[in-house]
Amino acid sequence: MKYPYLETEFNENLDKQVVKIINQYWKIENRTFLYSPTKLRNKFGITQPRLNSIVKNNSKTKLFLDECVECEKPIIIPVTSQSTAKNKIENPDFICSDCRSKLNRAP
Ligand SMILES: [Zn+2]
């Protein structure tokens, strides 16, 4: 799969509507989120705190940012909001946390 991409794990027994909101919330194309929080709030008639809690309390999402330049494994970052994910995509790490700590330990 082409980086960056997101993988979402859903809690069990969720309402269809909740799954739909979460799926749209994390939908990304060409490094851009397709549905901004404002768009989703208007579309589903919910408040921002409600949107945040729907996303955070019912799912876990990981951002697969890129391949590590050292070990070529994917750089995976847990994210809880579009803004944290966006920030990582716009200011990406090129090295995974394992390699970073190895480099930091090197003399
Ligand atoms: Zn690495």
72 CA → ligand 1 middle, Å: 6
Positive/negative CA dihedral, 36, 18, 29, 79? positive
Provide the domain count of the chain: 1
- Longest CA pairwise span in the chain (Å): 56
Determine the pLDDT at residue 1: 65
Determine the pLDDT at residue 60: 98
103 CA → ligand 1 middle, Å: 10
Determine the pLDDT at residue 87: 96
In the predicted model, residues of the chain with pLDDT beneath 50 are none
Determine the pLDDT at residue 106: 78
**Domain of residue 14, residue span:** 5-105
**SS3 assignment, position 68:** coil
Q: For residue range 11-30, what is the model confidence (pLDDT) as tens digits? A: 999 999 999 999 999 999 99
Residue 70 has a CB neighbour count (10 Å cut-off) of 14
Residue 2 has a CB neighbour count (10 Å cut-off) of 6
17 CA → ligand 1 middle, Å: 38
Determine the pLDDT at residue 93: 85
Determine the pLDDT at residue 76: 95
Determine the pLDDT at residue 77: 95
The answer to whether 27 touches 77, Cβ cutoff 8 Å, is no
CA distances (Å), origin 32, targets 4, 16, 85, 106, 107: 10, 25, 10, 36, 39
